[in-house]
Structure 1
Amino acid sequence: MPSVSIAPSDPVYAALDLGTNNCRMLVARPTHDGFRVVDAFSRITRLGEGLAASGMLSDAAMDRTVTALRACADKMARNRVTRARLVATEACRRAANCDSFAQRVKVETGLELEIISAKDEAGLALGGCSSLMRPDYPWALVFDIGGGSTELIWVRNNADAPQVRGVVSLPLGVVTLAEQVGEALHNPAGYAVTVAQIATRLAAFEAEHAITARLLMGEVQMLGTSGTVTTLAALHLNLERYDRSLVDGLDLRLADIAAVTTSLLGMSASERVAHPCIGTERADLVIAGCAILEAMCRLWPLSSLRVADRGVREGILLSMMRQDGVWARAE
């Protein structure tokens, strides 16, 4: 990327990702080779709680989310944000009352949500984490396990820019799966059945793109961006407190993932709550994430997985800055 001097008067950007489970925002200024985060926000709002059963966003979930979005609007105002993109994903895509919710958000916070497609969500996630892809592998399987859905992207890793060759979005995320399967996830038999069912749903993507054939030739890398993989990475490192600098870009062997998953399955609910890298808000969801990840690892047994603590928000920031040409003035 060309070198350029960025003046203090240059725009301040905000990228917000409103998912089924989380509301997350980054505020950033462009730098000579990317951007510098100047403020951030993250809160678990469970917007999609109960959505699978009712088809609607509940009043309580909307109340929690509007409160979080109001805090985001305040941060944007304090940081004098000049350009923002605020996207909503699976929960809003599926909810019958998503339009009225978006209107309420606009009235009560001044923010305008953009409900994006699963394909656009996958593209933004790829844009945010593609810098972690290893150039010596010609193909990449990139995935994002969300609260309401899981996106998989089959990528041709060209030197100029990654080329998306296939995208699939499964309507299964950590929230939806935990609600659908319930306590059965927390016993060995129920967990095994769930993993097998998810693997079956992934088989069509494998058949379409012949990923295993490339894998057997040593041509495929796997890159994961989600709370599931970052949590597993933190547990593998035995962190007493989550540290993004140690997790982002970490290579996890499949044996490491299996060991951490086994440990999690052996924990009681109270033990998961007490763990500093899991906590109350993720304790009932982390096993669902493990099941989705294990299904992928079973179908595509790569030697390792690269962990990305970055994704949609970073993809939004980079795309806006690229559109504005902030790196085009080479020194």
Structure 2
Amino acid sequence: MQHGKADRNGASRPEETPPKRKRRKRRRRRAFVRDAVVEPTTKETPPQVDTGKPARLQAGRLGESEQDGQRTSYAALDLGTNNCRLLVAVPTRPGHFRVVDAFSRIVRLGEGLSREGRLSEAAMDRAVSALAICAEKLGHRKPRRMRLIATEACRSAQNGEAFIERVKHETGLTLEIIDRQTEARLAVAGCSTLVDRGTEGVVLFDIGGGSSEIALVDISRHRTPRLADHIVAWTSLPVGVVSLAERFGGHHVTRESFSAMVDAVSDMLDRFDDGGRLSKIAAGGRFHLIGTSGTVTTLAGVHLGLARYDRRQVDGLWMERDNVDRMIDTLLSWDFEQRKANPCIGADRADLVLAGCAILEAIRRRWPSERLRVADRGLREGMLNEMMAADGAWRRRRQTGRGK
């Protein structure tokens, strides 16, 4: 029976069914892979508990003390030629994660490597000390999965494998020495969300301490969710800020010695045949550079005039060609003490930053661009992205209703 309402004359009329509300379609953001969120500032503190024996931590394996469902964190560690870095994060909404712990320390593992071909005892001691802190953090966090990598210093050192064994014995951490192609891919995966909307081509570079990885990315055709799928060429230069500074000097850098550094890196780039894969795209203007390294983030911090380095202001910053030129010229006009006094450079980078600028300048000459995007992210974020995606972390959180 249909119920009705009386009209103005008292006659009964059918009750009108209210129209159904149209569901608004959510516009999907066009982005590649996963977003890396802001990394918290973490103080470097020594381990507070000395158990006498190192906790045995195997990359990719679950700990024995907690059930799978109790742990949602993932960890990524990158031991480079200059830095030791750790991120621990938990997946949040699809494509995102939240950093719950972080650690970074300059250890200069590759100090003297270009001259001696071996890792020095002092450098290994510094690295092991930093890794012990990382092991303590990992033992406390008990991540669901983790990946612990070592790059150029361990790849090229005669005693690299012996050092890896020492790390395992003294800290319980099992490090994986990755090849250069993997390093380039992880850098791309970590910076995917910094590709500008409408861009058709990107040259992404990671200036390290002992090597520099460069990836050419063509996204002019059909785009897939993984930016790394669009790498059309890549190279790894056997030079980084530490090795270049040791070769040409990093304390007293003249304009002549700086030009010599740029020429040396340019000679290496000349041997890289990219087949002109991005030449047409670069000429069309829908093209930009992405730089992930301490060199680029330092330039950005100096450019912004920061009283203290702030990742939130630097990561994702756009720098125009003139800005980069001006900053390099400014650093060249400063002596070592002036560079050291700048809060975004400091004593740890004062002798390395101009070597990094020389590598950057050689890259800019090879692939001229009006814009450079600064990335304070890279290998660790790339590893976290890949582990969470492979593990179905975001899909699992949607199913349990926690992906908010």
TM interval, shorter chain, is over 0.9
Query: Structure 1 pair 243/8, CA: closer, same or farther in 2 (3 Å)?
Result: farther
1:84 paired residue among 139, 146, 152: 146
Q: Post-superposition shift, 1:315?
A: 0.4
Relative to structure 2, which stretch is displaced further, 75-84 or 104-113? Answer: 75-84
For residues 184 and 204 of structure 1, what CA distance do their matches in structure 2 show? 29
The correspondence of residues 299-310 of structure 1 with structure 2, limited to 5 A, is: 299-310=366-377
2:293 paired residue among 206, 209, 226: 226
Q: CA RMSD in A?
A: 1.8
Query: Structure 1 pair 279/106, CA: closer, same or farther in 2 (3 Å)?
Result: same
For residues 261 and 138 of structure 1, what CA distance do their matches in structure 2 show? 28
1:15 paired residue among 69, 73, 76: 76
For residues 140 and 256 of structure 1, what CA distance do their matches in structure 2 show? 19
1:168 paired residue among 216, 235, 251: 235
Structure 2 counterpart of 1:215: 282
Q: Deviations over 1:12-34 (max 9, x none)?
A: 11100000000000011111132
Task: Note if contact 1:145-1:173 (Cα within 8 Å) is conserved in structure 2.
Answer: yes
For residues 270 and 148 of structure 2, what CA distance do their matches in structure 1 show? 33
The correspondence of residues 1-331 of structure 1 with structure 2, limited to 5 A, is: 9-33=70-94, 34-157=96-219, 158-160=222-224, 161-162=226-227, 163-182=230-249, 186-205=253-272, 208-329=275-396, 330=398
Task: Note if contact 1:28-1:39 (Cα within 8 Å) is conserved in structure 2.
Answer: yes
For residues 299 and 200 of structure 2, what CA distance do their matches in structure 1 show? 26
Q: Which runs of 5+ in 2 are unaligned?
A: 1-27, 30-67, 400-404
Task: Note if contact 2:297-2:314 (Cα within 8 Å) is conserved in structure 1.
Answer: yes
Relative to structure 2, which stretch is displaced further, 60-69 or 153-162? Answer: 153-162
Amino acid at match of 1:132: L
Query: Structure 1 pair 312/23, CA: closer, same or farther in 2 (3 Å)?
Result: same
Partner SS state of residue 186, structure 1: coil
Task: Note if contact 1:28-1:37 (Cα within 8 Å) is conserved in structure 2.
Answer: yes
Q: Post-superposition shift, 1:138?
A: 1.4
Q: Post-superposition shift, 1:214?
A: 2.7
Relative to structure 2, which stretch is displaced further, 235-244 or 293-302? Answer: 293-302
Q: Post-superposition shift, 1:200?
A: 2.6
Q: Post-superposition shift, 1:206?
A: 5.6
For residues 277 and 137 of structure 1, what CA distance do their matches in structure 2 show? 30
Amino acid at match of 1:29: V
For residues 236 and 210 of structure 1, what CA distance do their matches in structure 2 show? 32
Identity %: 50
Q: Deviations over 1:283-322 (max 9, x none)?
A: 0000000000011112222001011111000001111111
Q: Post-superposition shift, 1:207?
A: 5.0
Amino acid at match of 1:115: I
Q: Post-superposition shift, 1:180?
A: 1.0
Relative to structure 2, which stretch is displaced further, 17-26 or 75-84? Answer: 75-84
Q: Deviations over 1:67-102 (max 9, x none)?
A: 000000011112222321100000000011111100
Query: Structure 1 pair 84/127, CA: closer, same or farther in 2 (3 Å)?
Result: same
Relative to structure 2, which stretch is displaced further, 39-48 or 29-38? Answer: 29-38
Q: Deviations over 1:28-47 (max 9, x none)?
A: 11111321100100000000
Greater relative contact order, per chain length (Cα 8 Å cut-off, separation 6+):
1
Query: Structure 1 pair 78/167, CA: closer, same or farther in 2 (3 Å)?
Result: same
Partner SS state of residue 155, structure 1: strand
Task: Note if contact 1:223-1:308 (Cα within 8 Å) is conserved in structure 2.
Answer: yes
Partner SS state of residue 124, structure 2: helix
Amino acid at match of 1:214: I
Q: Post-superposition shift, 1:191?
A: 0.9
For residues 127 and 346 of structure 2, what CA distance do their matches in structure 1 show? 20
Q: Post-superposition shift, 1:209?
A: 3.0
For residues 145 and 100 of structure 1, what CA distance do their matches in structure 2 show? 26
Q: Post-superposition shift, 1:159?
A: 2.4
For residues 211 and 185 of structure 1, what CA distance do their matches in structure 2 show? 37
For residues 342 and 99 of structure 2, what CA distance do their matches in structure 1 show? 28
Task: Note if contact 1:28-1:35 (Cα within 8 Å) is conserved in structure 2.
Answer: yes
Task: Note if contact 2:71-2:144 (Cα within 8 Å) is conserved in structure 1.
Answer: no
Partner SS state of residue 205, structure 1: coil
Partner SS state of residue 209, structure 1: coil
Amino acid at match of 1:25: L
For residues 107 and 135 of structure 1, what CA distance do their matches in structure 2 show? 47
For residues 104 and 164 of structure 1, what CA distance do their matches in structure 2 show? 36
Partner SS state of residue 307, structure 2: coil
Q: TM-score, normalised by structure 2?
A: 0.78
Task: Note if contact 1:88-1:116 (Cα within 8 Å) is conserved in structure 2.
Answer: yes
